[in-house]
Chains A and B, each alone.
Chain A
Amino acid sequence: MSAPGKKVFELFVSKIPWTLGTKEVKEYFGQFGHVRKCLLPFDKGTGFHKGFCWIGYTTEEGLHNALHKDPHVVEGSKLQVQQNMMPFTWRRMDKEAEES
């Protein structure tokens, strides 16, 4: 249950190649607007990330810019980008990230 009134502008990005790290993903999506949060969960057991991430923009404009670009190709790989429809997941992953 996210706090009412506070809007979130989030992307859910999947099919991220293993070679990209949090920094690279954040940099890439930074071109569309200021990225408030970039969460690319890694599997601490294997050391590889899970291939998807959440990008949170501070403004709706950033979100729209990102959604209007197609395709998103980073280092030869096409990313799948969509608006995040599950804000609840964000919180959970957020917590995980903090705890780990």
Chain B
Amino acid sequence: MRSSGALLPVTWDGCPFATLCRLNMAALLRSARALNLSASPLLQIKRTSNHRQTISRFYSRTVGGRGIGVCSRQIISGSFNPAMLVWEHAVVARDEPSLGVRNKQSHQFDWALAKLDSSVRRTGRVTKSLLQRIFHDICRTGYPSGNQALLLLRSCGSLLPELPLAERTEFAHHIWGKLLELGAAYDVSHYNALLKVYLQNEFKFSPTEFLAKMEAANVQPNRVTYQRLIAAYCQVGDIEGASKVLGFMKSKDLPITEAVFNSLVTGHSRAGDMESAVNILSVMRGTGIDPGPDTYLALLVAYAEKGDMDKIKETLNQVENTDISLMDRDLMQVVFTLTVAGHQQHVPEVLEHLRHDGGFVPDAMNLCLSLITQGHESTAFMLLKTFPSVQADSQNSNGPDVGNFFLRHCVNTNKSPEELVGFCKGLMDSNLHAAPMQFTLYCALEAKKMAPAIEVMKTMKEEGLPIRPHYFWPLLAQHKRDQNTAGTLEVLKAMQELSTEPDIDTYCNYVLRTFPSVDSARTALADAGIAVDTIAFVSAEVRAEAAEGNLARLFAFLSSPSLPAIDIGVFRGNLIAGFKRQTSTENMAYFLYHLFDGMSETEVQAKEEVLREYLQQLHKKGICIPVNIYRGIRNILDSHHVPELIKVPLLCNFLLFCSHLKCSKTIKCVCVFSQNLPRALELKAEHEDKMSPSCYALLINLCCRHDNPEEALNLKRELARMDSEATLDVNKYMSLLRVLSKHNRLEEAVDILKEMKEKDVVVKDTAVVLLFHTFSAVALRGDVAALRRLQDTTFALGLAKPTSNLCSPMVTMYLEKGDFAGALEAVMECETQYHQLPRIHDVLCGIVKKGDTELLQKAMDFVSQQRGEMTVLYDLFFAFLQTGRYREARKIIETPGLRAKPGRLQWYAEKCIGSNQMEALETMVDLTAKLFECDRDEMYHYLLCLCKDTNDWSKAEAVWTKMQEENVIPRERTLRLLADIFKTNNQEVPFEVPEVKQPSSVTAFSSVAYAVLYTSRSSAGLRGLVMALCKKRKVQEAYNVLKEAERLGKALVPACYDALIKALLSSGSMEDAMAVKDIAANHITGFQLSDMAHNLQIITQVKQERPQGCLKTMLQMDQVPSQLALTRLVQGLGNHGDIKGIQEVASLIKSLSPSLNMSSMLFVNNMALAHIKNGDLERALEDLESLYTQTADHSQQSIAFVFRKVVEAHNDEAFDKLRTMAERLCHQFASYKPATDLFLQCLDTGRVEEARQLLQRCAAVAEQKTALVSYMAKASQSPGQIAKIKNLLELIPDFAEKELVYAYMMKCHGKWAGQVGLAAKALYRRMQAEGLQMNELSLKRLAQLYKKAGEPVPFEEPPETFKFYADKLKASTLPSPEDD
């Protein structure tokens, strides 16, 4: 950090510094605004007068990019224009996310960071899809935090080599706008990150406008901002602009760093003044800054732009004479520039300078990708050919496959097929890739790119490589998904051209399913000139029919004389599948039930293990057993006495161990605590007989404390006489050991150690520390022999592990004497004996300080040999740092191939923090900036920890700026620490603090809080109030608050508007909701309803009889409504007879989201109703009837809805026709479902007579017992339906077991709150008369009725609860009337 004063003598283009020095920010802006830098007016600031905030719109350079704007339908709604960004600033307060969201967010951030980080570390790049996925996730969680935003923004620059520059910037802008909308708070670090992205993407923008935006957002630019603005000016060769910013920095006393000079090199060169560019280097030296690698790189790039190869070589030579080393990555930058500037012919010469050191491959891959992206694939290929060819090893006989990434990216960027083939041949010729064609084809297929795929296949065919039918499946699969018949035919034609005949699987799995029916497929194929009478196609047809269970058609097929010979095996499986189509989990459950039912008790018990296994397997496969069947199974298993089978391992018996605390005899040893040894000994003499081992132990310890080894040993001997088994605890042994060794009673000390071993005393934790102190004390005395004896005995006995700490006293002994050679010897001895290098750092530091190179060499050789080079390098690095030899430290850390060792770095950082060594720590953080895999946030966190300890906020601020300069994304804890330092020093925190907040739950607001919030009239307060009121369903109040906010000109956040809209819609206030939407749209460009609000809007509109209106809005917006909203919509449309509308919805659903599991009957029924509504009864009947005559499986198709609607509408004509249809279906097609539905509908609407007539005509209805019982079960759910059950029973007396019916009836009575006691009693009597047993549940219900009526219960009331009997019943009979 140099003072800017030194810069004054420098003159570039005679910039009038003096006049600038006292300029303030605004003045700079004014003067800068005069510059006409950008070609187009990129930014327009529009001040809206109706509210106070400034909204400016930012139009990115290229509009309407394709891939970038699309993340997911949920996130980016249809009308959101990705090119349009909102810069929303200043006073807008954001939602306070809840604790849960915060925690999740912080967790998610770590995940995202790790994911991106690992990608960057491994490959030096991020894929667009990964970034998009993380962006998507962050958006979905809502409330993006500051560092998440930073993480995303940072990744939009050169980390995306696979994306064109413009697209990257566009993505950055998209992220910027979207996160802002979601409430992210931007501080200076975000603006700086955006600037960096601009620079990396060579995005042309106006620095003045950028500063204006920051000013409008009330964000103060800092050193890094200015540095990057200078770089931006320099990028376009605008030295004047750069100088102005530079002057401003000087006026503010900001340090001018190397980065600024590097920019100026570029600036002068781009301005066409190479001389000045070169001159910058001497200017730098003049100010005391040595040109670094980046400076030379800037110079090299400048020459590369000019294509000046001589100068490049000259500069490279020059660099070689300094102690700076350029990395391969730097040279690749030169290669890139040469290529882009059109001087490809020089590339090979630069390539020769590459060292191919570690990290070459990922860097070179990124260069290739960038070059391909920018259309320089031939240069990229040149580079690719220099890649090391991996030798095909014997382990893996797969051939070499260098260049996969290259081929894939060429395919993705739509390089011409000719080029692709050319590269493939090139790779094969140079033996880099064994099967490039196949791989290219794979990529093309994966990306569903038909044209290149077909072209590559043509070449493969020419080369004699086989073309197989399944090569076309990925293409067909895509068309199948899109139901794109034209595309499918095109692929089939291509197959024909390549004379690859589709096989049966091709047709069956991919082709036929694209077409609505087998017949239509046949016709379409034939029309397209594709042979359909092949065995493959016919077999596929047969297979499809079999699978569908269309047995009649299958039979017709097979009996056709024109059928070629087909193996039964071709369709056998499908035929079986066709038969088994109805198989469901219910069947599986019944199977289980019968399995258990069919087994005897002993059998079940014998096979318990097998069964358990089986059940677990079933569970793993996600098979769910219906609850009533489960109960049945449970019942059986219970009766077989194997309850373990059904119990979840909940058998954790919480055994309460009753501790029978034997109160030990109170002994007067308490006096020991007085620490009075003579008194304690006296007491001991008095109560010799009452002495317990623990008393002895305490006394021995006391003796040790009083430094009395003699007495301690005496006591110990006494104790041994009293109880030879008695053992002291480890701390007492340690005390003994300490005092004995202190008094030089070595042999006795060794005996203690041996005794400890004998008695299995474990030395750990604090005892180890005591041991260390014992050793240290011996070391302090300088008694090498004693120390060695003690250490060796301890370790040999295995009492303690020879840790570095325990071994260190020996080394310390020499270090204290300043005998580094001796210390090193001791270390080496430890290493050979115990594999420990105690205090090697201190030893090395001592040697370095002393400057004993010979000894240093010896130490290095030894450590390197024992622990490897990496350890030595770190040891040396720390030693140099510690002794202030930073230049040497830099050399060490820049060793090629060195990677970050987090543990070692942490060790040194903590050492620095502990001993307050700011300079050493800072240097370490600086020097490790380019260290491979170094966690930068961690490093800066160490620095901040020290700042916190020293309470140095200005240093902390400098650290934060440094982080921005280095593009480091701080983790939350780092930001919190930083904020903490600022706060303790009463400084303003210049960013959003990600605090873990207590849930500021809106629901908990007291009325006082309301008042406070309301009177404060801050945006945040109003927002909170609106949210709280919405949650409390005080919709109108919330709306009023919003209106108040509007009056005050305060805008709220999108989430708040959305909540209010939802609340208003829920209460049916469509108009108000739309008014709020308009307000929101006024404040927030591109405001969109959330999915939920959108659904509510649809439902409300349908309720208000305006389905057409909402169909329109639905079509306009690109949102997929919920199933419920859709159902309501379709019903509404049906009500209005809007056939076209229903069709539109149906096709929309099909195209939008086939996964939306909508019942097809929804559309069929409502279509029919719409026809009826329109008077086209015939059409409705035709459609409905065909439904039952054309498909085999009717079980799921219920048209009860149509019946009900017709009955409700009293449309007798339609009713009659429908009835006739149902009867016809019943008689002629054996389709009983419609008649049964109609029968039950009549019953349900009280048309008993019609039901009776229907029954007479369609006797089969009486056989549909399942449907009838389930109707009864449903009816018994609600009170007052008893008449319906009675009617049913009267019409079909034997539709179910009497007991069952009566039980349901009793349930119905039970539900009825009024006077039905009589009826219930009558039912009871009737049952008794019929000799039927009433089950316990029903009895319980009846008893309850008696009690309610205040009458005595005339029978013994079952004692258990309802639930008990319900469960019992469920378990015993299947199915049964039960409570839910």
Cα-based distance from A99 to B508 in the complex (angstroms): 12
Q: Are A47 and B445 in contact (CB under 8 A)?
A: yes
**8 A Cβ contacts from B475-531 to A:** 475-478, 481, 503, 505, 509-510
A24 at interface by CB-CB < 8 Å: yes
Q: Using A21-B468, A98-B574, A98-B576 as known contacts, say yes or no to A73 and B397 having CB atoms under 8 A apart.
A: yes
Contact A42 B509 (CB under 8 A): yes
**B474 close to chain A: CB less than 8 A:** yes
B399 at interface, CB cutoff 8 A: yes
Q: Given the complex of chains A and B, what is the CA–CA distance between A52 and B39 in angstroms?
A: 58
Which of B398, B468, B573, B574 is A19 in contact with, Cβ under 8 Å?
Answer: B468
Instruction: From the candidates A1, A46, A73, name the one contacting B474 in the complex (CB within 8 A).
Output: A46
Give residues of chain A (16-30) contacting chain B, Cβ–Cβ below 8 Å. 17-19, 21-24
The reply to whether the CB of B49 lies closer than 8 angstroms to some CB of chain A is no
- Chain B residues lying within 8 Å of A49, measured Cβ to Cβ, are 470
Q: Tell me, yes or no, whether A4 is within 8 Å of chain B by CB.
A: no
Contact B477 A76 (CB under 8 A): no
Asked if A71 and B397 make an inter-chain contact with CB atoms under 8 angstroms apart, the answer reads yes
B434 within 8 A of A: yes
Known: A21-B469, A48-B473. A76 touches B577 (CB 8 A): no
The number of A-B residue pairs with CB atoms under 8 Å apart is 62
How big is chain B's contact interface, by range?
A: 20 to 34
B398 contact from A24, A78, A97, Cβ within 8 A: A78
Q: Which residue in chain A gives the minimum CB-CB distance to B581?
A: A99
Contact B509–A97 (Cβ < 8 Å): no
**Min CB gap A12→B, angstroms:** 19
Q: Do B509 and A100 touch (CB < 8 A)? A: yes
Q: Are A46 and B396 in contact (CB under 8 A)?
A: no
Task: Kindly name the residue among A19, A23, A46, A99 whose own CB sees the greatest number of chain B CB atoms within 10 A.
Answer: A19
A47 touches B435 (CB 8 A): no
CB-CB < 8 A to B481: which residues of A?
45
Q: Which residues of B contact A21 (CB under 8 A)?
A: 468-470
A77 at the B interface (CB under 8 A): yes
* Contact of A6 with B by CB under 8 A: no
CB distance from A35 to the nearest CB of B (A): 13
Nearest chain A residue, comparing its CB with the CB of B465: A19
Return the CB mask of B438-461 against A: 1 if under 8 Å, else 0.
Answer: 100010011000000000000000
A97 to B572, CA, bound (A): 12
Q: Which residues of A contact B472 (CB under 8 A)?
A: 47
- The answer to whether residues A76 and B476 also contact, given A24-B468, A44-B509, A97-B573 and a CB cut-off of 8 A, is no
Which listed residue (B469, B509, B577) contacts A98, Cβ 8 A? B577
A21 to B397, CA, bound (A): 20
Q: Which of A52-100 contact B (CB under 8 A)?
A: 71, 73, 76-78, 97-100
- Mark each residue of chain A from 36 to 48: 1 if its CB lies under 8 Å from any CB of chain B, else 0: 0000001011111
Q: Which residue of chain B has the shortest Cβ distance to A78 in the bound complex?
A: B397
Chain B residues whose C-beta falls within 8 Å of the C-beta of A45 in the assembled complex? 477, 481
Flag B564-586 by CB within 8 Å of A: 1 or 0 each: 00000000011011000000000
A73 CB contacts on chain B under 8 angstroms: 397
| Distance in Å: Cβ of A96 to nearest Cβ of chain B | 10
Contact between A47 and B475 (Cβ–Cβ < 8 Å)? Answer: yes
Given the contacts A21-B468, A42-B473, A47-B474, A98 and B397 also touching, CB distance less than 8 Å: no
Binary contact readout B751-769 vs A (1 if CB under 8 angstroms, 0 otherwise): 0000000000000000000
Is the CB–CB distance between A77 and B398 below 8 Å? yes
Chain A's closest residue to B617 (CB) is A88
> Looking across the interface, which residue of chain B has its beta carbon closest to that of A40?
B470
Residues from chain A with a CB closer than 8 A to the CB of B505 are 22, 42
With A21-B469, A42-B509, A46-B474 as known contacts, state yes or no: A76 contacts B576, CB within 8 Å.
Answer: no
Are A76 and B442 in contact, with the CB atoms below 8 A? no
User: Do B434 and A76 have beta carbons less than 8 Å apart?
Assistant: yes
Closest to A97 in B: B573
Interfacial residues of chain B within 258-273, with CB under 8 A of chain A in the complex: none
Partner of A42, one of B445, B470, B475: B470
Cβ of B474: which chain A residues have Cβ within 8 Å of it?
A: 46-48
Which A residues are in CB contact (< 8 Å) with B476? 47
Residues of B within 8 A of A47 (CB): 445, 470, 472-478, 510
In the complex, what residues of A have CB within 8 A of residue B614's CB?
A: 1
Report chain A residues within 8 Å CB of B468. Answer: 19, 21, 23-24
Q: Most chain-B Cβ atoms within 10 A of its Cβ — which of A23, A47, A97?
A: A47
Q: How far, in Å, is B544 (CB) from chain A's closest CB? A: 12
For the complex formed, measure the closest distance between the CB of B432 and the CB atoms of chain A, giving whole angstroms: 15
What CA separation (Å) do A24 and B503 show in the bound complex? 13
Task: Give Cα A78 to B446, complex, Å.
Answer: 23
Within 8 Å CB of B469, what residues of A? 21
What A residues does B577 contact at CB under 8 A?
A: 98-99
Report yes or no: A98 in contact with B573, Cβ–Cβ below 8 A: yes
- Residues of A contacting B478 in the complex (Cβ-Cβ under 8 angstroms): 47
Given A18-B442, A76-B435, A98-B573, is A44 in contact with B477 using a C-beta cutoff of 8 Å?
A: yes
List the A residue with the shortest CB-CB distance to B510: A47
Given the complex, which residues of A lie within 8 Å of B399, measured CB to CB?
Answer: 76
Tell me whether A76 and B473 are in contact in the complex, defined as CB-CB below 8 angstroms, given that A47-B445, A47-B510, A98-B573 are known contacts: no
Most chain A beta-carbon neighbours within 10 Å: one of B396, B434, B473, B614:
B473
Within 8 A of A (CB), among B608-661: 614
Cβ proximity bits B292-305 to A, threshold 8 Å, 1 near / 0 not? 00000000000000
Q: Which residues of B contact A42 (CB under 8 A)?
A: 470, 473, 505, 509
User: CA separation between A100 and B480, bound complex, in Å?
Assistant: 14
Residues of B within 8 A of A17 (CB): 438
**B477 near A78: Cβ-Cβ < 8 Å:** no
CB pair B509–A78 under 8 Å, yes or no, is no
Residues of A within 8 A of B442 (CB): 18
The residues of A that contact B574 with a CB separation of less than 8 Å are 98
Decide yes or no: A78 and B573 within 8 Å by CB, A22-B505, A47-B475, A47-B477 being known contacts.
no
The minimal Cβ–Cβ distance linking A74 to chain B, given in whole angstroms, is: 10
Name the residue on B nearest A1 (C-beta): B614
**CB neighbours of B510 from chain A (8 A):** 44, 47
* Residues in B whose Cβ lies below 8 Å from that of A23: 468, 503
A57 nearest CB across to chain B (Å) = 17
Measured in the bound complex, the distance between the Cα atoms of B474 and A76 in whole Å is 23
- B573: nearest residue on chain A (CB-CB)? A98
CB distance from A4 to the nearest CB of B (A): 13
In the complex, what's the smallest C-beta–C-beta distance from A78 to chain B, in angstroms? 5
A79 to chain B, nearest CB (A): 10
Residue of A nearest to B434 (CB): A76
Q: Which of B434, B474, B478 has the most CB of A within 10 A?
A: B474
**Contact string, B392-424, partner A, CB cutoff 8 A, digits 1/0?**
000011110000000000000000000000000
Question: Can you list 6 A-B contacts (CB < 8 A)?
Answer: A21-B469, A42-B473, A46-B474, A47-B477, A48-B446, A48-B473
Across the A-B interface, give the 8 residue pairs with the lowest CB-CB distance, nearest first.
A47-B474, A47-B473, A47-B477, A98-B573, A21-B470, A78-B397, A21-B468, A99-B577
Interface positions of A (Cβ within 8 A of B): 1, 17-19, 21-24, 42, 44-49, 71, 73, 76-78, 97-100
Q: Give me the interface of B with A, judged by CB distance under 8 Å.
A: 396-399, 434-435, 438, 442, 445-446, 468-478, 481, 503, 505, 509-510, 573-574, 576-577, 614
Beyond A19-B438, A19-B471, A21-B468, list 15 extra A-B contacts (CB 8 Å): A19-B468, A21-B470, A22-B470, A42-B505, A44-B509, A45-B481, A46-B474, A47-B472, A47-B478, A73-B397, A76-B399, A78-B398, A97-B573, A99-B577, A100-B509
